[in-house]
Amino acid sequence: MLALFAPDEKATDAIGAALAGLLEPGDTVLLEGDLGAGKTALARAIIRARLGDPAMAVPSPTFALVQPYPGIVHADLYRLSHADELEELGIFENDRTIKLIEWPERAPELETLPGIMVRLAPGENGAGRVMTITPMGGRALTTWGTGLAQWIRDET
């Protein structure tokens, strides 16, 4: 597990860019946190960095449920009523696609997939964001500390 601290939006973007470089094709990234915690902001930063376009328009998938990009799919499960609906969204059609999934608590079985869970929460006294990264499905984070070193608050 890695606990990171992003004091501002610029740091969130930088962490997203660093994560984009650490993700492997087929990884699942579960983004968990309350409304306004920064799930979409982090996903947006990962997508822009992964696709090499820092100005790219990356809308929230809240209403469309799924936003596809080359090699990436960004999904928001908030409006799902049952995990069975996942199949209809087409998120898992390509096993080499990186999957960024907000509100994963709607489908807890996703935690068995290879990738990471990122839990986002406000920092102390509401300042900045704390991001806790936990490996899933056999994924190891042994080399990730180097790429994320400047934001690490705790590493176990």
> For 40-85, what is each residue's pLDDT tens digit?
999 999 999 999 999 998 988 877 888 999 999 999 998 877 777 7
* Helix/strand/coil for 129: strand
DSSP for 5-42, please give it.
Answer: EE-SHHHHHHHHHHHHHH--TT-EEEEE-STTSSHHHH
| Residue in the structure block whose two tokens are 């994560």 | 19
Q: 72-76 and 129-136 as β-strands: parallel, antiparallel, unpaired? A: unpaired
- Which pLDDT band, with edges at 50, 70 and 90, does 8 fall under? very high
Alpha-carbon span 19 to 40, nearest angstrom: 14
Kindly report the pTM of this predicted structure. 0.91
